[in-house]
Amino acid sequence: MEETAVKPAVRPATARERADRAAATGGVPTLEFHGLVPYDAYVRASDLHRLQQPLSEDAGEMSFLVVSQVMELYFGLARHDLTDAQQRLRGDDVWGALLPLRRAALHLEGLTASWQTLRWMTPADFNRFRNLLGEGSGFQSAMYRRLEFLLGLRTASLIRPFRSQPEVHAELTAALAAPSLWDDVVALLARSGHELPRDLLDRDFSTEHEAHPAVEAAWVDIYRDHGPGNHLRELGEALTEVADRFGDWRYRHLNTVRRTMGAKPGSGGSNGLAWLQRSMAREAFPELWSARTYM
C-alpha cells in the first residue's frame, strides 16, 4: 500500500514559548530542526524556487519569468482582499470593508512596482528569447481576468481561451455571471437610501456596467457630507484608490510593452500596443470619476 505524503506542519508557539526559547539560547536563533525548517514549511520557499524553468540560456529571461510569476501572485492577492471587501459590503459593513480595500490598493501598488525590474530590457534583449514563448501571453492569465471581472471590466469572449481547461473555464464563467464589486457597491447605495433605477440592480451581471447618471448623482450627494461618520464617503475614497492603482499598473504595462517591443504584434495574436491602449479606455468604478466634475 502506497504511503500518503504527510504535509509538514508549522507548530504554533505562544509569546511565552518564544520568550523562553530566546532566554534559553541567549538570543541566538534556533539552528537545529527535524525535517523542513518552519519557514520553508509555511512559505513553501523550496517549491517556489523550483517553479522557474526558463526556456533559453539567456540570463535575462529569468527576470521576465520571475516578474510574471510575482505578478500572478499579486493578482491573486488583490483579488483575495477585494473579495473580502465585497462580502463585507454585502452585509452592509462599510467600515469593515475599508481595510481590505486599502490593502488591495497597496497590493496593486506593489504589482505596479514589479514593472520597474524590467526597465533594463530593450527590444534586442526581449528578442533573444521571445520566439520561444510561442503564443504565450499575459493576456491569457486567468487570475488577471478574474481580477478584471471583479473590478467590473467584463468581456464575455475573453474566457474562450480556457475552454480546454474545464475547471478554470468554470471558475471564470462563474466570476463573469456574479456581481462585480462595483455592482455590490451600487446595490449598497440603493439600500442606503439613494434612488437608483431597478434595472441597475436587476441586470445581467455578465455584461459590463454602463455609467449611469443616477449613480453619479448618488456619489455627488455622498461627498457633500464631510462629517466624520460618513463611511460611504470613505468608501468612495478607498475605491478610488483601488481604481487609481489599477490604472497605474495598466499604464506601466503599456509603457513596458512600448519600451520592449514597440508596436509589433503581440505574442497571443493581438496587435499589442493598440490593444492595450483600447483596453485602458475602460475604467473601473466610472461614476466615482465622473462625479468629481460636479462636487
- Ligand-binding annotation for 212, yes or no, is no
2-13 average pLDDT score = 65
pLDDT in tens, 120-140: 999 999 999 999 998 888 788
Q: What pLDDT, on a 0 to 100 scale, did the predictor assign at position 262?
A: 82
DSSP string for residues in 198-244: HHHHSS-TTSPPPP-HHHHHHHHHHHH---TT-HHHHHHHHHHHHHH
Q: Above 70 in pLDDT, residue 6?
A: no
Residues 6+ apart with CB under 8 A from 132: 55, 56
Q: If pLDDT is split at 50, 70 and 90, which confidence band does 7 have?
A: low
Kindly give the interhelix angle for 123-130 and 61-90, rounded to the nearest 10 degrees: 90
For residues 294 and 216, is the Cβ–Cβ distance under 8 A? yes
Q: What is the DSSP letter of 157?
A: G
Q: Rounded to 10 degrees, what is the CA torsion of 237, 289, 110, 128?
A: 180
Q: Domain ranges for the chain, please list them.
A: 63-294
Q: Which three cell numbers stand for residue 161?
A: 481561451
- In this predicted structure, what is the pLDDT of residue 124? 95
Q: What is the mean pLDDT of the chain?
A: 91
194 annotated to a ligand binding site: no
In this predicted structure, what is the pLDDT of residue 278?
Answer: 77
| Percentage with pLDDT > 90 across the chain | 72
pLDDT classification of 1: cutoffs 50, 70, 90? very low
- For 251-270, what is the HEC assignment? HHHHHHHHHHHCCCCCCCCC
Cell numbers linked to 292: 468629481
CATH number of 63-294: 1.20.58.480
Helical axes 61-90 vs 181-191, angle rounded to 10°: 20
**Core vs surface per residue 241-276: b (16+ CB within 10 A) or e:** bbbbbbbbbbebbbebbeebbeeeebbbeeebbebb
Q: Above 60 in pLDDT, residue 5?
A: no
pLDDT at 272: 64
Mean pLDDT, rounded, for 207-235: 95
Q: How many helices (H) and strands (E) does the chain have?
A: 14, 0
* Percentage of residues of the chain with pLDDT beyond 70: 94
- The pLDDT tens digits of the residues spanning 69-96 come to 999 999 999 999 999 999 999 999 999 9
Higher pLDDT, 136 or 100: 100
- Residue identified by cell 530593450 is 122
Quote the pLDDT of residue 242.
Answer: 98
pLDDT of residue 268: 60
Which of 2-11, 70-79, 257-266 has the weakest average pLDDT? 2-11
Q: Name the CA radius of gyration of the chain, rounded.
A: 23
